[in-house]
Amino acid sequence: MFNRGERISSLGNNVNSGNLNHNSGSVLTPPKRGVHSSINNNNNNNNNNSNVNLKQELLEEQKLEIREAFQLFDMNGDGCLDYHETKVAFKALGFELTKRQVLDIIREYDTDETNLLTYDNFYKTVGEMILKRDPLDEIRRAFKLFDIDGTGKISVRNLRKISKDLGENLSDEELQAMIDEFDLDEDGEINEEEFIRICTE
């Protein structure tokens, strides 16, 4: 049985991965992606551009997320993404790109002027962006997704909504116990500092 910190951290992983709209994760499943290992990977990353090295450096969960995002938004199943499909696929993986950025990515690989992005080029681009991403920024972004009402704190009400959206039926007593375990200032809620501690322990 996983401890309450693992439950909250896992919930954060599912929220941060964009899984709220399709129930692909469980609050009770421990996070597969260790923040400490991600930080070490970032510090040691030499940003080699080959897909071979990307496949070696990316975690299995990250590879799966890239593949699932591509398949989900390749609406017509032609093995390529157009501009709109590319934009939403990047957003689903946590990257908010401008129109110019998306077009630049497509044009970089669009040697035959189809205005489409193939899976290999999508994988390469997203993989490089993931390896360069600061895991602490991901945690802070997840915190903001938890902090639905923008109070700077995560309350039982916030956790209740997130867990419900992920298909988990946890009682208020269980949710409060999860908060109490890491509520260092004993105000009944989790602030950003406490949330980072949960995710990095």
Residue 152 within any structural domain of the chain: yes
pLDDT in tens, 35-84: 334 434 444 444 444 454 666 688 888 899 999 999 999 999 999 999 99
Please identify which residue in the block is written with the tokens 């509520």. 183
Q: Pick the residue with more confidence: 36 or 99?
A: 99
Residue 145 within any structural domain of the chain: yes
Last residue of a domain, one of 115, 133, 151: 133
Most confident of the following: 91-95, 98-102, 135-139: 98-102
Do residues 125 and 143 both lie within one domain? no
Q: Which amino acid, 200?
A: T
Residue 188 within any structural domain of the chain: yes
- CA–chain centroid gap for 164, Å, is 19
Do residues 174 and 163 both lie within one domain? yes
Last residue of a domain, one of 113, 133, 153: 133
Q: How many C-beta neighbours within 10 Å does residue 176 have?
A: 16
Residue 78 within any structural domain of the chain: yes
**Which burial class, exposed, middle or buried, applies to 65 when counting CB atoms under 10 A from its CB (0-12, 13-18, 19+)?**
buried
Q: Pick the residue with more confidence: 8 or 197?
A: 197
Distance from C-alpha of 136 to C-alpha of 158, rounded to nearest angstrom: 21
Domain count for the chain:
2
Q: Cα–Cα distances in Å, from 61 out to 33, 68, 125, 164, 195?
A: 7, 10, 17, 23, 22
Do residues 179 and 152 both lie within one domain? yes
Domain with residue 151: its CATH number is 1.10.238.10
What domain range includes position 184?
A: 136-199
pLDDT in tens, 127-168: 999 888 887 887 888 888 889 999 999 999 999 988 888 888
Q: Cα–Cα distances in Å, from 18 out to 12, 40, 104, 166?
A: 10, 24, 24, 11
Global pTM value: 0.54
